[in-house]
Chains A and B, each alone.
Chain A
């Protein structure tokens, strides 16, 4: 039997015409917290390479550990196979160096920050760093919902490639991406990002540049009112969640949803919207603030409005019950 020869494929092309280049072969992500990890998984499971940047090696290791746990969790719940897990993990790389974004076609900033001021400045810095290393055609995006892209892009040389792209990561079946065109963003960049959304199996929704977009803005109103209903003792937390799920057909009640999103994140959304619009309805509820100060951030800390076991499964106690019993 003859030996198999190995050759490069290029010379067997029929014509010299430009080969279609995959527009989104590699995606960069800055910040690999919960949201960054969700985006990385979403993208890598569609066969696209992912490079994520973190501040130190421990954070990279932690991100990989959490991504692996999430994949194992999906396998345990029959959502994928070991083979799928291996191929997804093989497509995700962690780095400390912005230079590793040089081949990325799209870089999404998804960092966490405590206050609006700091957040804006840090993100502007991130945008500048990304611009230094990516090619001139690469698209730079933020996943932030409450900061406007025109402001984040304001100090870049090439502002027209910046866009806001908010990936819903809260519900496992979430299938939308809110896309916001900034003042400078070109139509081509919008169209490309729309294609990217479809490539990863999501429905793009075009939204005007306005803090909070659709999902964050409507959700904060809901959780804010839910906190009022709770504080006014109209009903207890479980009844509120139960009613919204079974009465209105929402998949999660407002408190359960806030725990899933992260209470700190919800508070940040509210503070940003309050600062932007000055409307009392966006003022963060003292009840949520109290929980956040206590380090009860929701599912990720196993304590939020409710308590959760180590797998993130909700226990039958709200944090209010727990405090009474303690």
Chain B
């Protein structure tokens, strides 16, 4: 059974066609610069065939039409008819409080996603474009939405409420939602499988450290807290996002710099985080190289980054009254051994002992990197959000 996974951004579409019997990606690729000059589609088949198709791709519908065209093509495709695609799974950024699990995209469900667009104005409208396009191109196929927020819907009220007037929660739904849910869930499940422990009896902290980054506390299989909040801005220091910031400081900056909401938004989302602290780049590798060469700002930026993650690990250990497994994932979590070292060192009090010989140089392989006598298992586990979406899609249509 084949499932197509789509992750639609404002001007890009990531896609994967997966064979669910083997859980393998047969074809994967990306459409970029939709509606802009120089748009293209890149596709790679699991036999190594790679192609870049250049030409005008004016909207998401056209982009998806070409994706289906490539999948059907003899030269670069993998299916003979569109009927071979049994279901399409969509990544949807925000499911609000309505979606506590992935869901079949009925008319009602789509209307609910439309309602949530206000909460994620950059992401949900793009996700919806993908859903509409599939609806018009292959109307017979079942579609499933997998939400970034739904895994965190188990957070208790005391963890998701902000200390602001309750009326604002009731009026606008201002609360903490959390993101990266598919990734946190996937790596926790995979790790439990690898360690042969039960997720529903474990206290787990997952650190998804990529360009966007968040930490989640997973107690007995349920997310009980996570560092991103109402938007993906809260929490850790990220590539270009500030993470936690005193609102008072933000208001002071806006007043002093004489900037409005739009520039304020760009300041904390695009000029801040590691690019703001280091002054050179949002790319961890570039910052690490500069730090090695002695750049003081980069050295301090890396320390600040690690320290923020460490603080969250401490607070979530307290929140769960203990910790069994600490997981690193995401581009940085999987590949940056120095970041893992910076985050997980000097945490012996919490029972975390890193085995440097296992950690150093390790990139992207599922591995336990704590010492044998470490009370807490520290694990590197590569994420695979597309596979989670495909698996959820299969599960949801199976339930129908």
User: Of A19, A77, A172, which contacts B257 at CB under 8 A?
Assistant: A77
Residue of A nearest to B254 (CB): A78
Question: CA–CA, A22 to B51, complex, Å?
Answer: 25
**Inter-subunit contact B55/A77 (CB<8 Å):** no
**Inter-subunit contact B257/A4 (CB<8 Å):** no
Residue of A nearest to B260 (CB): A173
Question: Is the C-beta of A290 less than 8 angstroms from some C-beta in chain B?
Answer: no
Binds A, one of B96-104, B161-169, B266-274: B266-274
Question: Is the C-beta of A47 less than 8 angstroms from some C-beta in chain B?
Answer: yes
User: Of A9, A13, A15, A91, which contacts B40 at CB under 8 A?
Assistant: A9
Question: Is the C-beta of B380 less than 8 angstroms from some C-beta in chain A?
Answer: no
Chain B 252-295 interface mask (CB, 8 Å, partner A; 1/0): 00000111101110110011000000000000000000000000
Knowing A9-B54, A13-B66 are in contact, say whether A2-B49 is a contact too (CB < 8 A). Answer: yes
**Inter-subunit contact A5/B51 (CB<8 Å):** yes
- Hey, which chain B residues are within 8 Å of A7, CB to CB? 51-54
Chain B 32-58 interface mask (CB, 8 Å, partner A; 1/0): 000111001110000011111111111
- Hey, which chain A residues are within 8 Å of B271, CB to CB? 78, 81
- Hey, which chain A residues are within 8 Å of B266, CB to CB? 78-81
Knowing A14-B65, A14-B69, A19-B62 are in contact, say whether A4-B51 is a contact too (CB < 8 A). Answer: yes
Question: CA–CA, A74 to B267, complex, Å?
Answer: 11
Residue of B nearest to A6 (CB): B52
Question: CA–CA, A81 to B36, complex, Å?
Answer: 18
B17 to chain A, nearest CB (A): 15
Question: CA–CA, A279 to B304, complex, Å?
Answer: 66
Question: CA–CA, A15 to B49, complex, Å?
Answer: 24
Residue of B nearest to A199 (CB): B35
Question: Is the C-beta of B68 less than 8 angstroms from some C-beta in chain A?
Answer: yes
B73 to chain A, nearest CB (A): 6
**Inter-subunit contact A78/B263 (CB<8 Å):** yes
| Interface residues in A86-135 (C-beta closer than 8 Å to B) | 91
- Hey, which chain B residues are within 8 Å of A20, CB to CB? 58-59, 61-62
User: Of A2, A4, A9, A80, which contacts B41 at CB under 8 A?
Assistant: A9
Which secondary structure characterizes the binding site on chain B?
mixed
Question: CA–CA, A14 to B266, complex, Å?
Answer: 39
Question: CA–CA, A78 to B56, complex, Å?
Answer: 32
- Hey, which chain B residues are within 8 Å of A172, CB to CB? 260
Question: Is the C-beta of A307 less than 8 angstroms from some C-beta in chain B?
Answer: no
- Hey, which chain B residues are within 8 Å of A77, CB to CB? 257-259, 263
Question: CA–CA, A173 to B48, complex, Å?
Answer: 50
B132 to chain A, nearest CB (A): 13
Question: Is the C-beta of A8 less than 8 angstroms from some C-beta in chain B?
Answer: yes
Question: CA–CA, A7 to B398, complex, Å?
Answer: 38
- Hey, which chain B residues are within 8 Å of A19, CB to CB? 56, 58, 62
- Hey, which chain A residues are within 8 Å of B62, CB to CB? 13, 19-20
Question: CA–CA, A267 to B78, complex, Å?
Answer: 68
**Inter-subunit contact B262/A173 (CB<8 Å):** yes
Question: CA–CA, A22 to B34, complex, Å?
Answer: 11
**Inter-subunit contact A21/B54 (CB<8 Å):** no
**Inter-subunit contact B53/A12 (CB<8 Å):** yes
A100 to chain B, nearest CB (A): 16
| Interface residues in B62-110 (C-beta closer than 8 Å to A) | 62, 65-66, 68-70, 72-73
- Hey, which chain B residues are within 8 Å of A5, CB to CB? 50-52
Question: Is the C-beta of A49 less than 8 angstroms from some C-beta in chain B?
Answer: yes
Question: CA–CA, A211 to B42, complex, Å?
Answer: 52
Chain A 200-223 interface mask (CB, 8 Å, partner B; 1/0): 000000000000000000000000
Question: CA–CA, A57 to B99, complex, Å?
Answer: 58
**Inter-subunit contact A4/B52 (CB<8 Å):** yes
User: Of A1, A13, A47, A79, which contacts B65 at CB under 8 A?
Assistant: A13
Question: CA–CA, A3 to B36, complex, Å?
Answer: 26
Question: Is the C-beta of A10 less than 8 angstroms from some C-beta in chain B?
Answer: yes
Question: CA–CA, A285 to B70, complex, Å?
Answer: 67
Residue of B nearest to A313 (CB): B258
Residue of A nearest to B42 (CB): A4
- Hey, which chain A residues are within 8 Å of B258, CB to CB? 77
**Inter-subunit contact A12/B66 (CB<8 Å):** yes
Residue of A nearest to B39 (CB): A9
The contact sample of 26 A-B pairs, CB cut-off 8 A, is: A4-B51, A5-B50, A6-B51, A6-B52, A6-B53, A7-B51, A7-B52, A8-B53, A9-B57, A9-B66, A12-B41, A12-B69, A14-B68, A20-B59, A20-B61, A49-B37, A77-B258, A78-B264, A78-B266, A79-B259, A79-B262, A79-B263, A79-B266, A81-B240, A172-B260, A173-B262
Q: Which 3 A-B pairs have the closest CB atoms?
A: A9-B55, A12-B69, A78-B267
